[in-house]
Amino acid sequence: MLLHSLSFVESNNMNFIKFSLAFLVFYGFTTYSFAQELKNSNIDGYSFRQLSNRTQQDRLPRVSTNGYVTWEGWDGMGDWEIFLHDGNTLKQITDNSVQDLRPVVNANGDIAWQQGLGFDSEILVQSDGVTTQITNDSGSSLHEERYPDINDNGSVVWARRTSTTRWTLATHDIESGTSNFTSTRGYRPHISNNEVIEASGALRIEQPSGDLIGDIFGIPSAQEAGYRDFRRGEIGHSDNVVIEADAGTVSGGLHPDQQGPRDILYWDGTDLQNIFSSDVWAGRADLNGSGILAFEAFGGLPGSQSGLDDKEIFVYDANTGNLTQLTDDDYIDEWATVLEDGSIVWQGTGNFDDSTNNFFTDFDIFIAAPQAVPEPSFLLPIGIALFATQFRRRRHNANE
């Protein structure tokens, strides 16, 4: 694995000059590492595995704190189905003729997902093998139900569109079976194990009480932080937050989705830190409770082979300040999510083996698990080794 410090970076590829300068401004002496040909080999510190290898698309993975992975997969007959990987085996959860989308899973194996599209969509939950539809809109009360999330307590949150422009938050408790439909604005909600909800709202991040997270945790607003908007966000299980910030000027227009400039921000409970900046685009960040973040961005770190039109996965460790480029190939890698042990799960094209799947159009699910890097070992000459052994024995006998 090659290591680079920005103060010594040299690059012969003009594509990386802009990134090098941006990193120098924002990251100072942060150390970076990157992987070569991820789909074909391992890198120091991670072991890689492919969780799906079907001839159909698999996408939008989400994980639990203890290693369950769920995603939606195309069934080849016109709709998406829900799949669950428990760490050892892969199981298909749904098998029907409707669209089953955006699944999430908790440490108990409970799964929540969206079924259907538009104003004919509903939220379903499977717990202990029993599937329950927890919304049932009909007639004049149709709502669009989207983006469920679930925590280890069995609390479910999702966004519901009550008009063409307004999204509000709804919650459900699996154990009691009760639901709460709030008037609090919110979109793409996420819920921590402490029952705190963050959601992208109208230029703000909220929780169900209607209070701004900024008021609760001290996070400045997008405008106070010098941004046009806070877009996607995610909350960790210790209430730490990662935010995708639209870096356009406050007075300018809102940038389209997946168009830069974008910054990735991390709130550790005290400070709002800028950990990544891209003039092209970066986003869809996820994190765990211990401060391991993953996100996707166009281009690569200095020295990688990634072009500015290629999405790669990056991992940031808030405890060490290290930013790692986890993928470095000509395939698409996106939608990263993080387990509590620091493993990263994502969707991507390409394979780790010689599969007959189409490498460039067939998305599969991959996982990279952190591994301890072995300490360097040195072979001592036999005479020195014997002397050292005898010396240790004499010291041991003298201390008895």
pLDDT in tens, 25-34: 333 334 444 4
Distance from C-alpha of 152 to C-alpha of 355, rounded to nearest angstrom: 36
Is 153 domain-assigned?
yes
CA separation, residue 38 to residues 18, 34, 147, 247 (Å): 24, 9, 30, 30
Is 175 domain-assigned?
yes
Q: In this predicted structure, what is the pLDDT of residue 249?
A: 58
Is 342 domain-assigned?
yes
97 burial level (CB within 10 Å; 0-12, 13-18, 19+): exposed
Is 221 domain-assigned?
yes
- Point out the least confidently predicted range of 105-109, 204-208, 259-263, 314-318: 204-208
What DSSP line would sit under 63-130, residue for residue? E-TTS-EEEEEE-SSSSEEEEEE-SS-EEE---SSS-EEEEEE-TT--EEEEESSGGG-EEEEEETTE
| The two three-digit tokens of residue 226, written as one number | 């010098």
Is 89 domain-assigned?
yes
CATH number of the domain bearing residue 79? 2.120.10.60
- pLDDT per position as a tens digit, 214-237: 455 678 888 888 888 888 889 887
- Number of structural domains (the chain) is 1
Instruction: Give yes or no for residue 376 having a pLDDT over 90.
Output: no
Q: What are phi and psi of 15, to 5 degrees?
A: -60, -25
Is 138 domain-assigned?
yes
132, amino acid identity: T
Instruction: Give yes or no for residue 300 having a pLDDT over 70.
Output: yes
Burial 64-86 (b: 16+ CB within 10 A, else e): bbbbbbbbbbbbeeeebbbbbbe
Range of the domain at 185: 32-398
**pLDDT-based confidence at residue 20 (cuts at 50, 70, 90):** very low
DSSP SS3 for 382: helix
Is 193 domain-assigned?
yes
pTM of the model: 0.80
Q: What is the DSSP letter of 169?
A: E
Instruction: Give yes or no for residue 366 having a pLDDT over 70.
Output: yes
Lay out the sheet containing 205-206: strands in order across.
187-191, 197-200, 205-206
What DSSP line would sit under 222-256, residue for residue? TTTTT-SEEEEEEE-TTS-EEEEEE-S-TTSPPPP
| The two three-digit tokens of residue 273, written as one number | 């830190």
- Point out the least confidently predicted range of 45-54, 126-135, 162-171: 162-171
- pLDDT per position as a tens digit, 164-213: 778 888 999 999 999 998 888 888 889 989 888 888 743 344 444 444 44
- pLDDT per position as a tens digit, 250-271: 455 555 677 788 999 999 888 8
**pLDDT-based confidence at residue 349 (cuts at 50, 70, 90):** confident
| The two three-digit tokens of residue 95, written as one number | 């098998």
